Chains A and B, each alone.
Chain A
Amino acid sequence: MATQIRSGNRFRNMRIVIVDYGMGNIKSISSTLQYLEIKDVLFSADYEVLRSADKIILPGVGSFAKAMKRIRDANLDIILEELSVKGTIPLLGICLGMQLLGLSSPEDGFNTGLGFVDGIVTKFDSSACKIPHVGFNQVKPNLSSRLYISLPVFPDFYFTHSYKMNSDTNIHQSMCEYDQEFVASFEKDNIAGVQFHPELSQGNGLQLLKNFIELF
C-alpha cells in the first residue's frame, strides 16, 4: 500500500511551505509530508520563502481571534492574498487554517477572516450535541472534488473542533454531519480547505494530501 500512497520520485524537487505563525501542529504535518517523500518541507512566514513554494499549507490549532491577529501582525493576509488569490500557488488550509480562509467567526468575539472564500464560521449547538466534535466521521464528497479521488465513497477522517463552517455559495463543498451539516472541505480553483486533519487520518489522509499535491 505504501508504494501506492507514497509519491515516489515525482516530487523530488517539490517545495511545500507550511505557514509558520506560531499556531499549528507542525510536526504531524511535516512528518506526513516527509513520509510522502516531499523533499523540501519548510516552515516560514517570510515572503520570499512563501513565494518560492510549489504549495502552501496553512495549519492552525487554537482560537480564530488569536490566529487572525498573528496573521495580520506578520502581514500574512496580504502575502497569501498576493500569492494564492491573485497568484496561483495552491493553498491548503487545515482545521482552523481552513476556517481562517472564510469570512468571519464568533470565536473570542466577532472577527473577520482572510475572506478568500464565502464561508461563515459558527459554534456547534451545545444543547444538541457534545462539543467538541471529536473523532473520525464520514465525509460526503462533492462529486466535482479533486481531493477525494481514489478514496472510499464516504471516507472517514479525524475531526476535532468546536466551530464549523457553512456556506450558501458553491465552493465545491464536501459535507459532514454532526447534529447539522457543515463544510468538511471546500476547493475553489487553487485554494482548498479541510476541517478535518488529514495528517491524523491514517491512509485516507495520506491519499487526500497526495491528491492535493498532485492535482492542485
Chain B
Amino acid sequence: MLRKRIIFALIYSDGYFTQSRNFRLQRVGDLKWLEKNYQFQKIASSLDELIVIDASKGQKSITSFASMISDLVNDVFIPICAGGGIRSMQDAELLFKSGADKIIVNQILLQNPGLVRELISNYGSQSVVASIDYKQVNGINEVYIDNGSSKIPQRLEEYIRYVELLDIGEIYLNSIDKDGTGFGYDFDTINEIARHISKPLIIAGGAGNENHLIGGLAIKEVSAVATANLFNFIGDGLPNARKKIIDTGVNIANWSPVNS
C-alpha cells in the first residue's frame, strides 16, 4: 500500500535558515547551526522527504543556494526537493546537479508556463512540484505569489485547476494565515478542496505538534503533511513525533535506521 509522507520544509534566506510566521522570516541559524542543533542526519532518518526553499528577498543567488544544497544532502538518503526563484532551465539544472531530486516552483507557474512545460518535458512531471500560497480574505481563498506579497486574480480552486493542467507532479499547498503559527493546518479549506485535486497533495502551514500531522494524514486525499516549524520540532521532536504517529497506526513507512 502506498504510504503517506511526513516532509520537513527548510526555509532558507540569505545564508540562514529561518522560522517563518505568516511569511515574515526570522533568522535561526546557518547550516552549521542546523547540524549542531538538529543533528541533521538523525532528523532526516525520521523524514520521508525534505523540501528546501530559498525565500531570500530581493536579488537571490541561486549559486550560493545550490552550494548549500550540495553540502546539505551528503549522507542523507531521502528525496530532496529544492526551489524558490527558479527562472530558467539553467537554474533548475544547477539544483539537480547539486543534489536536488525534485524542484519546487511557484511564480513561474503563472508568469512563465512555457518554462514549466519545458522543465516537465526534460525532467518528467514527477520531478516538478507546484507550490501554491493562499490566504483567506473575507471568506475567499486568494492566491499570492512572490513570497506572499502579490495577489493574483485567480481564486484558489481556479488556480489549482490551471496548475493541474500544466501536468505538474505534486501540489504543495501552503496557508499563509496558518504559516508558522503552530495552531494546526487550515483543515476547513483542505477538507473542502482536497477531494477535487487530481494530483498528489502536500499540505503545509500551521503544524505545531504531532497531532496536527496526524490530523492532516487522516484526510483521505492528502498524500503528505509538511512542517517548516524549526522551533517546535527541535532536538528529538521529529523522531518522537514519527514514532507516535506510527504507534497510532497511521500508514507511513518503516525502514532500517541509518546512523553515521
Contact = CB atoms under 8 A, between A and B. Distances in A.
A144 interface: no
Interface string A104-122: 0000000000000000000
A27 B98 contact: yes
Contact of A204 (B3, B5, B252, B255): B255
A136 B224 CA distance: 11
Interface string A1-39: 110010000000000000000000111100110010000
A63 B256 contact: no
A158 B78 CA distance: 8
B126 A135 contact: no
Contacts of A206: 77, 256, 258
A174 interface: no
A162 B126 contact: yes
Q: How large is the interface on A (under 10, 10 to 19, 20 to 34, 35 or more residues)?
A: 35 or more
B40 to A, nearest CB: 14
B126 A202 contact: no
Interface in A134-170: 134-138, 151-152, 155-156, 158, 160-162
Interface stretch (B30-38, B68-76, B179-187): B68-76
B226 to A, nearest CB: 13
Interface in B201-260: 223-224, 252-260
A25 B101 contact: yes
Given A1-B258, A63-B121, A200 B77 contact: yes
Contact of B2 (A32, A96, A133): A133
A131 B122 CA distance: 17
B78 A202 contact: yes
Contacts of A135: 2-5, 48, 200, 223-224, 253
A200 B78 contact: yes
B97 interface: yes
Given A62-B123, A197-B79, A202-B78, A136 B258 contact: no
A156 B254 contact: yes
B124 interface: yes
Contacts of A138: 1, 3
A116 to B, nearest CB: 22
Contact of B126 (A134, A151, A203): A134
A161 to B, nearest CB: 6
B73 A27 contact: yes
B7 to A, nearest CB: 10
A42 B120 CA distance: 28
Contacts of B75: 31, 35
B125 A27 contact: no
B54 interface: no
A203 B257 CA distance: 6
A126 B199 CA distance: 10
Contacts of B70: 27
B200 A199 contact: no
B127 interface: yes
B1 A130 contact: no
A28 B99 contact: yes
B257 A178 contact: no
Given A62-B127, A160-B79, A178-B2, 10 more contacts: A5-B256, A62-B123, A135-B2, A135-B253, A136-B252, A137-B2, A155-B255, A156-B255, A160-B169, A207-B256
20 contacts: A25-B96, A31-B75, A62-B122, A62-B127, A131-B199, A132-B169, A135-B2, A135-B253, A136-B2, A156-B253, A156-B255, A162-B125, A197-B79, A200-B77, A200-B78, A201-B77, A202-B258, A203-B258, A204-B256, A206-B77
Please give me the 4 A-B residue pairs with the lowest Cβ-Cβ distance, nearest first: A203-B256, A136-B253, A156-B253, A202-B255
Interface of A: 1-2, 5, 25-28, 31-32, 35, 61-63, 66, 96, 126, 130-138, 151-152, 155-156, 158, 160-162, 177-178, 197, 199-207
